[in-house]
Chain A
């Protein structure tokens, strides 16, 4: 799958220049994932990140003695994984695929290396990820208000 086909639906990909998109394309591959497949576990090295093409991914917290709790679900076009960009580059949550899904997986180690070498690319990537973080913070604050009570 070409990243161009995903570009319209993805906040991350839509903000990249054509050159940057070509670079990201070279650092990515498409994958299909079955229902329940774990993309990453809490505490593991954050050396990848994903954009959902079709399907859904649940970010969840696992804890001894209780069932996993879903923190948030991410759908088509959405970025799965933020921790890959910030030290110590470890996942804070577990990511589990819900239903058969298609994703694009990126080599986060290589993207980070290119960001170190190319400050323009770094700025673009950080701006997009920061915007995503701000949106998730806003949503989290709204949920803290217990909107439906």
Chain B
């Protein structure tokens, strides 16, 4: 089974040329994470598949791959949620309304939405990993009748590190989706769960033989979550992960994101666990 695959961006003649976008607004999600709403200057909109990423260029600073975190049903704007972890992402988090950036893409494979139709869907996210699965969640909720039980399990370091808190509350108020949140550390004023994200899996409804799992977060978190899903009867072919490596060109030319025989930018970032499971345990990769 393969995930939705975008047209090979390497065939586009202007694959390395960024489109100019303007920052429409920014909002701080946490102390080090910002959500930006960007508008294309050419007014032609931005279409993407949930799970894809763009190369976001801060002129004069550098370019980084960022997963799209907006609603695929809204083509007028491009939404990115970015955590400041280096020079470029720090510059992105300092952007303000009216600033200009360059965008290449979207690139890469998307989450398996067609494959999930008629099945239960478990979305597992850790930390900033909620951002790349947000378009998938919005798609699931927009077409709720096309899917079986839909659940989100989300783990974060502390309550202050949780993303999209208002949206999580809003989703929780629905009767057709299960939302479970846990943190690693909390004070006694926290009324939610404290524990590792996999501890939430026994609480959510899914039929293992008829489930698609979508997992996004740091690599170790994805691995342990995928392994726990397998222990609970879900096949490795039905578990999808979004991988991250040092992507530079994003079109499969430069080789910076090589992961064994594949390039994360071109062949991923979304892979079935069955395909990459062995490689995820190889230290040199």
Contact = CB atoms under 8 A, between A and B. Distances in A.
Interface of A: 56, 58, 60, 67-73, 75-77, 96, 98-99, 139, 142-143, 145-149
Interface string B162-200: 000000000000000000001011111111111111110
A76 B193 CA distance: 12
B195 A148 contact: no
A95 B146 CA distance: 43
Nearest to B186: A70
A51 to B, nearest CB: 14
Contacts of A75: 193, 203
Nearest to A56: B193
B196 A148 contact: no
A73 B195 contact: yes
Given A142-B224, A147-B184, A99 B191 contact: yes
Contacts of B195: 72-73, 139, 143
A142 B196 contact: yes
B102 interface: no
A104 B224 CA distance: 32
Given A60-B188, A75-B203, A70 B220 contact: no
10 contacts: A67-B187, A67-B189, A68-B188, A69-B185, A73-B194, A146-B157, A147-B126, A148-B127, A148-B184, A148-B217
A60 B187 CA distance: 9
Given A73-B194, A147-B127, 5 more contacts: A73-B192, A75-B203, A139-B198, A147-B217, A148-B129
Contacts of A77: 202
Contacts of A70: 185-188, 190, 194
Chain A CB within 10 Å, residue with most, of B129, B195, B203: B195
A148 B194 contact: no
Contacts of A58: 188, 194
Contacts of A73: 182, 192-195
Interface size range of chain B in the complex: 20 to 34
A147 B155 CA distance: 9
Nearest to A147: B221
A143 B126 contact: no
B161 interface: yes
Nearest to B125: A148
B229 to A, nearest CB: 15
Contacts of A72: 194-195
A139 B217 contact: no
Given A58-B194, A71-B194, A139 B199 contact: yes
A147 B161 CA distance: 13
B99 to A, nearest CB: 28
Contacts of A143: 184, 195-196
A147 B194 contact: no
B126 A148 contact: yes
Nearest to B203: A75
Contacts of B156: 148
Contacts of A98: 191
A147 B188 contact: no
Contacts of B129: 148
A76 B202 CA distance: 10
Nearest to A142: B196
A58 B220 CA distance: 26
B15 to A, nearest CB: 33
Nearest to A139: B196
B196 to A, nearest CB: 4
Contacts of B199: 139
Given A70-B186, A139-B199, A147 B191 contact: no
